[in-house]
Each structure stands twice: as C-alpha cells, then as structure tokens.
Amino acid sequence: MPDTAIDPEIAARFIAIVGEGHAVTDPHDLEPYLVEPRGRYAGVSRLVLRPANVDEVSQILKLASETGTAIVPQGGNTGLVGAQMPDNSGTQVILSLSRLNRIREIDLSSNTMTVEAGVVLETIQTAADDNDRLFPLSLGSQGSCQIGGNLSSNAGGTGVLAYGNARELCLGVEVVLPTGEVLDDLRKLKKDNTGYDLKNLFVGAEGTLGIITAAIIKLVPKPKGREVAWIGLPDPKAALDLFTIASSAAGASLTAFELMQKRSLDFTLKHIPDTVSPLQGEHDWYVLMEISSGRSAEDARGLIEEIVGAGLEEELVEDAALAMNLAQAGDFWRLRESMSESQRPEGGSIKHDVSVPIALVPEFIEKAAAVILTVVPGARMVCFGHMGDGNLHLNVSQPEGADKEEFLSHDRAMHDAVHAIVRAMNGSISAEHGIGIMKRDELLATAPPLAIDLMRRIKASFDPAGIMNPGKMI
C-alpha cells in the first residue's frame, strides 16, 4: 500500500471492508476523485472506498467514528461548490457511492421508484420513460451526476417551476448515520404526520449528517403533449410580464420558463458545435418556454400559441419560434443547457447561483449589471436561469483580453457586491448549488446567529465525533 497520511493499520481495516479491488490507493487512479469539474476546488486523499451495499457503508462509518477518521461522501463529482472535495491534509477518506447503483423497484401504482444513491440521474429518467412515466429532475450534468448527490445538495434544475426541487421529489430515504446505524425511512407515503420529518434533515445537508444510500422518488405521468418555444424579447421586464401571462393561461402546464441574456446565446453559438439560433434576428434577451399537457398534443400546442400570441399583441414578444417536432425542441433545450460550458473558452468566470422574488428579477439584473462594472470595468455579465422560480445564474466573464488570474482575484469582491443586492431583496445566495466550501464563510457571516446555532446543534447531535464531511456548510 502506498504511503498514506492515514495510519496504515486503520487504512487496512477500511480496505478490508470493501476488498482491495474496491479501494483506490494508486495516485493516478485517485486523480479523478480529487478535483471538481471546474478545477476550482481540489484536495488530497490517499484512499477512496467504493462500498457495494448499505452494510459496507455502515461498517465504514462505524469504524470512522471509532478511529476519528473524516469521511467525505462523493457521488458523480459534479458539484460546483466543493462539497464533495477532501481537504489538503491527506487524512480524509473519500467514500464513493458509485457502486450502489441498483434500481430496487418501480411501482407504477404508487408512481414511485426506489433507487440506490449511485444511480445516475439519466438512468433514472430513462427507466421512468420506459415505463411511461417522467422523473422531472433535469440538470445539465444528468449524464454523470448521481441521485444521492442530487438529494444531498437538494438539486434544482429546469423543472422546479412545475415539479419542485429534489426535496419535493423525495418521499423517503435510507441513511447511514455516522455511528453506523441505518435509518430505514423508505416509505411511499404522501401523507405522514408522525413526528419530525427526518428525511428532510438529510436532503440538502451535503453529507454532513449522514450518507443517503437509497431513496424513494416520485414519478409523474408522462405528458401527452409537450411544446417548446424560443422567444426574443427586449428586456427582463417584458419576460416577467410574459411569465405572468403564461402562468395565468397554463397554470401547472407551464413546466419551464428560462430567461437568457443575449451574450449567453452568443457564447453558445460561438463555442458549441452544431448550434444554430432559432430566430433570424438578434434580441437582447430570450425566453425558452415549455408547455406540457396531460390531455393532448393539441392542448399543449393551443396553449403555447395562445401565450405567444398574447405576448405579441401586448408588444412584449419581438419574435418567436415554436419547435416543429421533438428533435427541434431538443435543439432549443441544448442551447440553454450548453450555456455554462460555453463560458469556459472565454476565460475566467465568476459565478453566482442566486434567487430573488420573481417580481424583483428585472430590478436585480439591472442593479447587478451596474455593480459588476464597478468591481471590474469591462467585465461581461452572462446571465441565464430559471426565471419561473426566481433562480438566476448570474455569471461574470473576464474582460476580453484580460489576465484570467488577475480577474479571478476579484472573486470575493464580486461576490460581496452581487450578494449584497440579493440580501437587500430578501433573496438567497445559494439557490440550488449548495454551500460546500465556496459559500460556507458567507453563510456563517450573514445567516441569523440563532439559525447557525441550531444547525450546529443538529450537527453535533447526529455527528458527535465530527467525522462527516468536516469543513463543509457550517
């Protein structure tokens, strides 16, 4: 076994639980576990454990508590705030859930699926589709992210408007506590008022209280009609007014309302192969709107035509294209889903994942655009997000020709300036990506002291040895 900062005898005991074939110790093989997708957060670990089942997870955590060994849970390693990264001490063990990858049950009568933590989100979506159902959690990383990580970060995505985030899509969980005890709360009940809702302590806890090893998730009937429109507008205020019209006309059938700045589309068309703008002319802002009908394709088409027509009549909409088929609808969505990736070739990017009340979205964008330039003159705002739930990814790309590292040195000042506007609007500095390392200090500095104290009491109660993902969140 290679040199390790963990006591060799303790490391050997951990390895014996999963077997040598499922313990990663080779430095080359460790590399993919030690840096997150953007390369911003990296850590050091000499040992990754890949348990096969809940019993092995239980044994690992029991031994970790006995020996005071810190455990860092990791799913698909797609998180953007560093919650899945070890620190630089070399003393922390990464626990990968990727081998817990079974779909245990699909219950069509209850519209539920029981899945283990390592099942990839896209696998769940496909299994639901094969059974004429929809699992509506949809993320850009769905081809590699895992459901355990989705639940631990309370992932959002493009379907929150109609279906809610990961917390709303989860009915029950199986969790291994830091002591090794297993909480079996895998129940399909939609109504249950028997005491505290324990599952929601673990959903969104970023692995700081225990490890979710399985979950019962909600399925919904597959829509009978789905229509997508790409809409050009002059400004976010017009988008807000169109959203009001769409919400009134479609109600729960409005399943997506994505707002995108022109620069977001420009970067995508420039850097993502085989992409084409849906509209002939250029517009300062765009909306991708989706209508899903449980009744018929004709109903969905009629609704979207009614909404776009009303937008044109009230001079909110400058131009629009309605997808003619599912392939074209997929092309529209690919433009939206590629907007994060398309920023990388433009150099340094300072990212904000924020939410404000929907009515304040236009005002927030206006104020943020102004304050960004006071921090770094020439910085380029790249704004897009889920306007239907007030969640914006307000990213800032470096000025053209600027030095990347010099630009990124303004990260703290940029966050402080943008987040000050968010807090003044009673918004959130972390809408769907979580806290992790990135936002931990700001959470501690700005959240109500009693809230922090209560979270710390919960942490101490569940994890008295302090082994679960230390240094994250609080």
Residue 267 above 80 pLDDT? yes
Residue 474 lies in a domain: no
Q: Examine the domain organization and report whether 240 and 275 are in the same domain.
A: yes
User: In the predicted model, is pLDDT for residue 426 greater than 90?
Assistant: yes
Number of folded domains that form the chain: 4
Q: Any long-range contacts for 51-54 (C-beta under 8 Å, 24+ apart)?
A: 51/17, 51/18, 51/22, 51/95, 51/97, 51/99, 51/100, 52/18, 52/22, 52/99, 52/100, 53/100, 54/100, 54/174, 54/176, 54/182, 54/213, 54/214
321-327 contacts: CB < 8 A, separation 24 or more?
321/229, 321/230, 321/231, 321/278, 321/279, 322/227, 322/228, 322/229, 323/227, 323/228, 323/229, 323/230, 326/226
Residue 121: inside a domain:
yes
Query: What six digits make up the tokens of 120?
Result: 């990839």
β-strands 391-397, 380-386: how paired? antiparallel
- Are 155 and 190 contained in the same domain? yes
**Which of 191, 221, 251 corresponds to the end of one domain?**
221
Q: 128 and 198 share a domain?
A: yes
What's the CATH code of the domain at 243? 3.30.70.2190
Q: What is the pLDDT of residue 434?
A: 82
Domain end residue (candidates: 221, 242, 262): 221
Dihedral sign, Cα of residue 36, residue 42, residue 46, residue 49: negative
* Residue-wise pLDDT tens digits, 57-115: 999 999 999 999 999 999 999 888 889 999 999 999 999 999 999 999 999 999 999 99
Is 109 found in the same domain as 53? no
- Domain of 154, in residue numbers: 103-221
Express as a percent the part of the chain with pLDDT over 70: 99
- pLDDT tens profile 207-218: 999 999 999 999
pLDDT at 4: 52
